[in-house]
Amino acid sequence: IGGLGYVACVQEMQQQWLDMGVAFDAVVVGSGSSGTHGGMAAGFYGNNIKIPLIGIGVSRDPADQEPLVRKEAQAIADLLGIGKVPREAVKSVGGFWQPKYSVPNAKMVEAVQMLARTEAIPLDPVYTGKIMAGLIGLARQGYFKPKAKVLFMHTGGLPSLHVYEDVILGRTELKD
Predicted pLDDT of residue 128: 94
Predicted pLDDT of residue 172: 83
* Residues ≥6 apart with Cβ < 8 Å to 61: 94, 95
Beta bridge partners of 92: 55
Beta bridge partners of 13: none
The candidate with the shortest Cα–Cα distance to 165, out of 137, 138, 130, 125, is: 125
Specify the pTM.
0.91
Question: Do residues 174 and 109 make contact, with C-beta atoms less than 8 angstroms apart?
Answer: yes
Mean pLDDT of 154-158: 83
3-state secondary structure of 108: helix
Predicted pLDDT of residue 175: 66
Q: Where are the alpha helices (DSSP H) in the chain?
A: 2-20, 35-46, 62-80, 106-119, 128-140, 165-168
Predicted pLDDT of residue 146: 93
In the predicted structure, residue 56 carries a pLDDT above the cut 70? yes
Mean pLDDT of 60-75: 97
In the predicted structure, residue 129 carries a pLDDT above the cut 90? yes
Residue 159 or 53, more confident = 53
In the predicted structure, residue 161 carries a pLDDT above the cut 80? no
3-44: pLDDT as tens digits: 999 999 999 999 999 999 999 999 999 999 999 999 999 999
In the predicted structure, residue 176 carries a pLDDT above the cut 70? no
* Gap between the Cα atoms of 123 and 112, Å rounded: 6
Mean pLDDT of 107-114: 95
